[in-house]
Chains A and B, each alone.
Chain A
Amino acid sequence: MKNNNSAKTQSEKKRSLSGILLSSPYLVWSVIFIVAPLFFVVYYAFTDRNGNFTFDNISKLGDYTGIFIHSIWIGLISTVICLVIAYPMAYIMARSGARRQKTLMMLVMLPMWMNLLIRTYSWMTLLQDTGIINNLISAIGLPRIHMIDTSFAVVVGMVYNFFPYMILPIYSVMSKIDNNLVEAAQDLGCNKLNVFRKVLFPLSLPGVVSGITMVFVPSVSTFYIAGKLGGPSNLLIGDVVETQFKASNNYNLGSAISLVLMVLILICMAVMNKFADDDTNMIV
Chain B
Amino acid sequence: MKKIFFDGRKSLVKRLVALTLTAMAVVSCMAFSVSADYTQDFDWRKYEGTTINVYNWGEYIPDGAEGSFDLNKAFTELTGIEVNYAMYDDNETMYSKISNGGVSFDVVIPSDYMVERMISEGLLQKLDFNNIPNYKYIADRYKNLPYDPENAYSVPYAAGMVGIIYNTKMVEGTPDSWSIMWDENYSGKILQFRNSRDAFLTAQVLIADQKGVELDTYVNTNDTALLDEAAAKLEEQRPLVQSYVMDEVYNKMESGEAAVAAYYTGDYLSMKDVNDDLSIVYPKEGTNLFVDAACIPTCARNKEAAELYINFLLEPDVALEIAEFLYYQTPHTAVLENDEYSLKDNKEIYPDNMDEIKTVTYRHQSSETLDYVGKLWDDVRQSGNNYTTIFICFAVAIVVIVVAVIVSKQQKKKRNNYD
Interface-located stretch among B33-41, B242-250, B349-357: B242-250
Contacts of A201 in B (CB 8 A): none
Q: Are B242 and A69 in contact (CB under 8 A)?
A: no
B-chain residues with CB within 8 Å of residue A66 when the two chains form the complex: 382, 385, 387, 390-391
* Bound Cα distance A215, B35 (Å): 59
Chain A 230-246 near chain B by CB (<8 Å), digits 1 or 0: 01110100001011101
Question: Provided the pairs A235-B385, A248-B196, A248-B371 are in contact, do residues A240 and B378 lie with their beta carbons within 8 angstroms?
Answer: yes
Cβ contact within 8 Å between B408 and A279: yes
| Chain A residue with the shortest CB-CB distance to B255 | A130
Tell me whether B228 is interfacial, beta carbon within 8 Å. no
Whether B382 and A244, one on each chain, are in contact in the complex, defined by CB atoms closer than 8 angstroms, is no
Residues from 249 to 291 in B contacting A, C-beta threshold 8 Å:
251-252, 255-257
B89 to chain A, nearest CB (A): 11
Interface residues of B in 145-165 (CB under 8 A from A): none
Q: Mark B401-412, 1 if CB is under 8 A from A, else 0.
A: 100110011011
Question: B78 contacts the other chain (Cβ, under 8 Å)?
Answer: no
Q: Is the CB of B377 within 8 A of A248?
A: yes
Q: Roughly how many angstroms separate A249 CA and B408 CA in the complex, as a whole number?
A: 47
Measured CB to CB, the nearest residue on chain B to A249 is: B370
Contacts A149-B243, A247-B5, A275-B404: A128 and B196 contacting too (C-beta < 8 A)? no
Contact pattern, A 92-104, Cβ under 8 Å of B = 1, otherwise 0? 0000000000000
Tell me whether B390 and A76 are in contact (CB under 8 A).
Answer: no
Cβ contacts under 8 Å, B196 to chain A? 243, 247-248
Q: Please, which residues of chain B bring their CB within 8 A of the CB of A235?
A: 378, 381-382, 385
Q: Could you say which of A148, A248, A279 contacts B374, with CB atoms under 8 Å apart? A: A248
**A49-B367, A274-B405 known; A130+B257 contact, CB < 8 A:** yes
B241 at the interface (CB under 8 A from A): yes
Q: How many A-B contacts at CB < 8 Å in the complex?
A: 115
Do the beta carbons of B411 and A282 come within 8 Å of each other? yes
Query: Are B195 and A130 in contact (CB-based, < 8 A)?
Result: no
Chain A residues whose C-beta falls within 8 Å of the C-beta of B6 in the assembled complex: 242-243, 246-247
Bound complex: CA A282 to CA B393 (Å): 30
User: Main SS of chain B's interface residues?
Assistant: helix
Q: Is B211 interfacial (CB 8 A cutoff)?
A: no
The answer to whether the Cβ of A187 comes within 8 Å of any Cβ in the partner chain is no
**Distance between A243 CB and nearest chain B CB, rounded to angstroms:** 7
Chain A neighbourhood of B242, CB < 8 A: 149, 231-232
User: Is the CB–CB distance between B381 and A73 below 8 Å?
Assistant: no
Whether A129 lies near B248 (C-beta < 8 A) is: no
**Judging by beta carbons under 8 Å apart, are B408 and A275 in contact?**
yes
CB distance from B391 to the nearest CB of A (A): 6
Task: Give chain A interface residues in 103-133, CB to chain B under 8 Å.
Answer: 121, 124-125, 128-131
Complex contact B401–A250 (CB within 8 A): no
> Is A281's CB within 8 Å of the partner chain B?
yes
**Total number of A residues with any Cβ neighbor in B under 8 Å:** 43
Bound CA–CA A73/B398 (angstroms): 11
Known: A235-B382, A243-B377, A246-B5. Contact between A69 and B394, CB under 8 A? yes
Q: Mark B373-390, 1 if CB is under 8 A from A, else 0.
A: 111011101101101001
Contacts of B404 in A (CB 8 A): 275
CB of A278 closer than 8 Å to a CB of B: yes
| Residue in B195, B255, B379, B409 whose CB lies within 8 Å of A63 | B379
A154 contacts B by Cβ under 8 Å: no
Q: A247-B195, A271-B405 are in contact. Are A121 and B5 (CB under 8 A)?
A: no
Q: Measured between alpha carbons, how far is A131 from B92 in the docked complex, in Å? A: 37
Question: Smallest distance from the beta carbon of B113 to chain A beta carbons, Å?
Answer: 13
- Confirm or deny: B399 has a beta carbon within 8 angstroms of a beta carbon on chain A: no
A199-258, CB < 8 A from B:
227-228, 231-233, 235, 240, 242-244, 246-250, 253
Q: What is the bound-complex CA distance between A276 and B242, given in angstroms?
A: 42
- Bound CA span A249–B372, Å: 11
Task: Give the nearest-CB partner of A275 in chain B.
Answer: B405
Contact A232 B394 (CB under 8 A): no
Q: Are A249 and B378 in contact (CB under 8 A)?
A: no
Q: Give chain B residues whose Cβ lies under 8 Å from the Cβ of A121.
A: 248, 251
Given A121-B251, A235-B381, A248-B373, answer yes or no on A73-B412 (Cβ-Cβ < 8 Å): no
Closest A-chain residue to B371, C-beta based?
Answer: A250
Q: Which residues of B contact A250 (CB under 8 A)?
A: 370-371, 374
Q: Is A196 an interface residue (CB 8 A)?
A: no
Say yes or no for B238: interface residue by CB 8 A criterion.
yes
7 A-B pairs with the lowest CB-CB distances in the bound complex, closest first: A248-B374, A66-B387, A246-B6, A247-B5, A130-B255, A128-B257, A231-B243
Given contacts A128-B255, A232-B243, A233-B384, 20 further A-B contacts (CB under 8 A): A63-B379, A66-B390, A69-B394, A70-B385, A124-B248, A227-B244, A231-B243, A232-B241, A235-B385, A243-B196, A243-B377, A247-B5, A247-B194, A248-B196, A248-B371, A250-B371, A253-B375, A271-B401, A278-B405, A282-B411
Between A and B, 18 residue pairs with Cβ closer than 8 Å are A49-B367, A66-B390, A69-B390, A69-B391, A121-B251, A231-B242, A233-B385, A235-B382, A240-B378, A247-B5, A247-B6, A248-B370, A249-B367, A271-B401, A275-B404, A278-B412, A282-B408, A282-B415
Residues of A near any B CB (own CB < 8 A): 49, 60, 63-64, 66-67, 69-70, 72-73, 76, 121, 124-125, 128-131, 148-149, 227-228, 231-233, 235, 240, 242-244, 246-250, 253, 271, 274-275, 278-279, 281-282
